[in-house]
Amino acid sequence: MATTSRIEVRQNGPLAAIREFLAKVLADEEIASVMAVSNVRGAMMPTVVTDPEKLSAVDPFAPAFHLNAARQVARLTRGEMEGHMAAVLRPCEIRAFTELVKLNQGSPHNIVLIGVDCYGAYASRDYHAMTRANGSKSPDERTLEFMGKAPSGGLEDPAATPPVAQACRVCEHPSPEGADIILGLFGADASKEMWAIAKTPTGEGLLNRLGLPDADSLEARDRAVEEMAARRLAALEIMNAQTAEKISTPEKMADYLADCVNCYNCRVACPVCYCKECVFVTDVFEHEPWQYQGWARKKGALRVPVDTMFYHLTRLAHSSTACVGCGQCSNACPNDIPVMEMFRLVGGRTQAAFGYEAGRDPDEPQPLSVFLEKELAEVTGGVD
């Protein structure tokens, strides 16, 4: 499975080249639609495209990440579909989709996953502010400007103006290894070429049908991926150490979450939080007035809304085994609470305890979904 094709970039630039590539994908007899981020009324949002002319708004390299599309892809694959959908996704979206498939929330059988080498993206607030400040620039111009800066790695620096989102600066998976086809940017001169790399038989079959020219060696890309992953992993370790100190006691965690208003945006934005009905929006947490008065009388004063700590601890218990670190929880927080940092720390430790990594392997069962006799011996005392 060594099909690696070259996407030639001509005078119109890399966005035109990738749109031409996706037009060829859409024209394939097995592909009924393409899902990719598009400019919709000035907002960069996932869009299902069936008309080739509408691909002129597609921009999978845009430094905007308003939504992790894994849940939308899962919904679209859960029932009958005419032909296959080719979904162009970031690495964290593919890994989240993998987790949802394991939870029977989506199907991998009627979709072709096209992953994009990911330099990261701005937090939504920063992207919107940049858009307003550079109103004369088109979305395409902003993307090309971002791509021009990104290969240096400078946008991973918190001192950059603006830096990419914190979740992206500590993402050790910049390459979409779970994809059927990778759109390779790392190590390439995007003004001249990009790569389409088949990673599965499905991807290989599609690339062969597209009839693209063969690519040369990918050694430059391999080095670039390795260097970027190492740099981000080092940043992750620093962030985890800082976060561990900030939430090391119940009192410190309460301070960490002090600005939470129980909006539950982090739950809604999380791609792997899959419950049809969340217990926190049921009458279980619709407390009676006399209960509030009793709690206030007992403590002398009562912070409202209540149950904030309980909510976040429940989220950690519920989703940490499947957290892919996409950062949409922090992106959605109206008060800028760094909930991503807490989830990455706890999620990483939880997954490590089970020898698991969310989104790594579609055939690897999720923790707690299987019983192993010899597991967590330090807790159970071991089983012979």
The DSSP code sequence of 73-96 is: HHHHTSS--SSEEEEEE-HHHHHH
d(CA 29, CA 33): 11
pLDDT at 138 (0 to 100): 86
The DSSP code sequence of 296-355 is: HHHHSS--SS--HHHHHHHHHHHHTTT-----HHHHH-TT---HHHHHHHHHHHHHHHTT
- pLDDT (tens place) for every residue of the chain, 384 residues total: 558 999 999 988 999 999 999 999 999 999 999 999 999 887 899 999 999 999 999 999 999 999 999 999 999 998 888 889 999 999 999 999 999 999 999 999 999 999 999 999 999 999 988 888 877 788 888 898 898 887 766 678 888 888 999 999 999 999 998 999 999 999 999 989 999 999 999 999 999 999 999 988 889 999 999 999 999 999 999 999 999 999 999 999 999 999 999 999 999 999 999 888 888 888 888 899 999 999 999 999 989 999 999 999 999 998 999 999 999 999 999 999 999 999 999 999 999 999 999 999 999 999 887 777 666 677 666 655
Question: Do the Cβ atoms of 3 and 203 come closer than 8 Å?
Answer: yes
pLDDT at 66 (0 to 100): 94
| H-helix or E-strand spanning residue 43 | strand 43-49
Q: What is the pTM of this model?
A: 0.92
| H-helix or E-strand spanning residue 37 | strand 31-40
**Sign, CA torsion 6/9/13/16:** negative
Sorted by sequence, the CB contacts under 8 Å of residue 164 that are 6+ apart come out as: 63, 119, 120, 121, 122, 155, 156
pLDDT at 70 (0 to 100): 97
pLDDT at 258 (0 to 100): 95
Segments making up each domain of the chain, as ranges: 4-235, 249-366
pLDDT at 275 (0 to 100): 84
> Residue 253: what residue type?
M
